[in-house]
Amino acid sequence: KLSNLAVKLIKDKYYRKGYCDIRVIPKRDPHYDTHTVDITFNIDEGIPYVVRDVNISGNKITKDYVIRRESAIHPGDPVDNVRIDATKSRLMAMNYFRNVEAFPTATDEQGKKDVNFQVEEKGTARASIGAGYSIDDGFVGRLQLSESNFDITDPSTFFRGGGQRVDLLLQLGTQRSDFSLSFTEPWLFNIPLRLDVMGFY
């Protein structure tokens, strides 16, 4: 386990410099008389690569820029598998995708690779309906709608794919009625500045 951890740490150091094809093979030489083990790490560095292009595929709903702004790796950066894995984690944390695959591919330019992210989208709209009764409020019907990948500016996609969030809550009853609508823009002015707006009655 310690040698596996050491291999990972060695690779991570090399990844930051673009050595994405590095191979590290530990060789163990046990000494039974002293109950010790010598470990030799054989390292095949390969050559360092930089990113030529970052390609995104599989997104039929989510806008390209919504995905790219979460990327930790960009053209001109070293082909760093640590940054690639960080980008995968960020994309999965958005909760828009069922799966995210990432892989570098060779190009016709010496020392350059493309980094490819292939996403599999999932449903982001939610709806719930219910009813109840209480002594204070009487009969109450409840409708809740939410879309976590909303786009207020694009009706052509049925207002989806812009990375915004909208929530609607409607409660109607014999004694009370409630209505609330909230909107969230997590990247106002295309920077990580969050805007929340809510209206209610």
Q: How far apart are CA 74 and CA 51, in angstroms?
A: 7
Q: pLDDT tens, 164-201?
A: 999 999 999 888 889 999 999 999 999 999 999 999 99
- pLDDT beyond 90 at 24: yes
Instruction: Give residue 134's pLDDT.
Output: 83
Q: How far is CA 47 from the centre of its chain?
A: 29
Q: How far apart are CA 121 and CA 67, in angstroms?
A: 12
Instruction: Give residue 62's pLDDT.
Output: 97
Bridge partners, residue 192, by sequence: none
- pLDDT beyond 80 at 2: no
Helix (H) / strand (E) containing 148? strand 138-150
- pLDDT beyond 90 at 91: yes
Q: pLDDT tens, 118-134?
A: 999 999 999 999 998 88
Q: Which residue matches tokens 């360092």?
A: 48
Instruction: Give residue 20's pLDDT.
Output: 92
Cβ distance 142 to 131 under 8 Å? Answer: yes
Q: How far apart are CA 153 and CA 160, in angstroms?
A: 9
- pLDDT beyond 90 at 112: yes
